[in-house]
Amino acid sequence: MSRELEFTRLRNLRETETVRRRNAETSLSASELIYPMFVTLGSGVRRPIEPMPGQFQMSVDVALEHAGLVSEKGIDKILLFGLPQSKDAVGGTSIDPDEAVQSAVREIKTTLPDVTVITDVCLCEYTDHGHCGIVTSDGQVDNDATLPLLAAAAISHAEAGADIVAPSAMMDGQVAAIRAGLDDAGFKDTRIMGYSAKYASSFYGPFREAAGSAPQFGDRRSYQMSSTQSDEAMAEIEADIREGADFIMVKPALAYLDVIRRASERFEEPPLAAYNVSGEYSAIKAAAANGWIDEETAAMEVLVGIKRAGADLIVTYFAPEAAEWLERGD
């Protein structure tokens, strides 16, 4: 006598490509992606970033052309990082209206007004010691002394025409200081994307080579969060929201998908971004170059995973390629 087996036929949900598509719980579109670009002074410069294949340090003219190309693919949000001409202890060039970021913002907003231009606001690319704030004589990063400098940098980006400024220095009160500074300077509509929960991460390694921003002594553990922390991430995000952030962020993405999920459930507003950082990009690129992994499917699996975890927006170096993959998949 045979016993009746009882089970649910969930495989029906994935029998064919059509069925799989119809049942997709998570969708991803190019309009949810933000593309980071590295800009420098000069002209005709397109310097490959070795640990980040496919990414370049670009002079403003090249960056403008590149922004045009990616926007045609449907990527209409870019995040700019600058490589300044010179560095000093207080990051003086971060407020120079003729520096790379400010020039790139002006050019891009003039020629491509529909592209949303976001600027990274931090001092590490502009200081000779590579820390994200001012360093005291005993080697500490001085939180409160750094705030007016971050506000001044944000104002100079707003003057150039930035739509959104994105403070990534992890100084307490940076969103409040920038909001107050922007408002006083007449930029009430410039929005702020806080890098709210930013962890001290090995996965920033390739970026620091790209941006020339590695700390020259010590590390960033006194201001960026430890990977052991999740409640603290919620406190950081809450603080940014209280200070007036229009967007919040968890960074990096992959080792912190639980933090993304928790933040997305806890804070319905404002929109939540996740940063698929340089090391996460480089790891896939390197494995793919060795033939160990399929780049397209691996990258899309990661991006869908970040979206499924709860991100509304994803900052990713894969943005232009992902737009092409999405277009082809349609």
Site residues (CB under 6 A) for ligand PBG? 120, 122, 124, 132, 168, 204, 207-208, 277-278
Q: Any catalytic annotation for residue 307?
A: no
Per DSSP, the three-state class of 89 is: coil
Q: Which member of 77, 87, 198, 285 is catalytic?
A: 198
Q: Which member of 77, 87, 251, 285 is catalytic?
A: 251
CB closer to ligand PBG, 93 vs 168: 168
CB closer to ligand PBG, 122 vs 311: 122
CB closer to ligand PBG, 208 vs 308: 208
CB of 208 vs ligand PBG, minimal distance in Å: 6
By beta carbon distance, the residue nearest ligand PBG is: 207
CB of 218 vs ligand PBG, minimal distance in Å: 12
CB of 207 vs ligand PBG, minimal distance in Å: 3
> Tokens 């001012």 belong to which residue?
134
CB of 186 vs ligand PBG, minimal distance in Å: 27
CB of 204 vs ligand PBG, minimal distance in Å: 4
CB closer to ligand PBG, 17 vs 286: 286
CB of 199 vs ligand PBG, minimal distance in Å: 9
Which tokens hold the place of 134?
């001012």
Residues facing 313 on adjacent strands: 273
CB closer to ligand PBG, 96 vs 120: 120
Q: What is the dihedral of CA 265, 269, 270, 271, to 10 degrees?
A: 50
Q: Any catalytic annotation for residue 198?
A: yes
CB closer to ligand PBG, 48 vs 186: 48
> Cα(230)–Cα(199) distance, rounded to whole angstroms?
10
> Cα(143)–Cα(131) distance, rounded to whole angstroms?
12
Supply φ then ψ for residue 120, to 5 degrees: -75, 130
Q: Please give the positions annotated as active site.
A: 198, 251
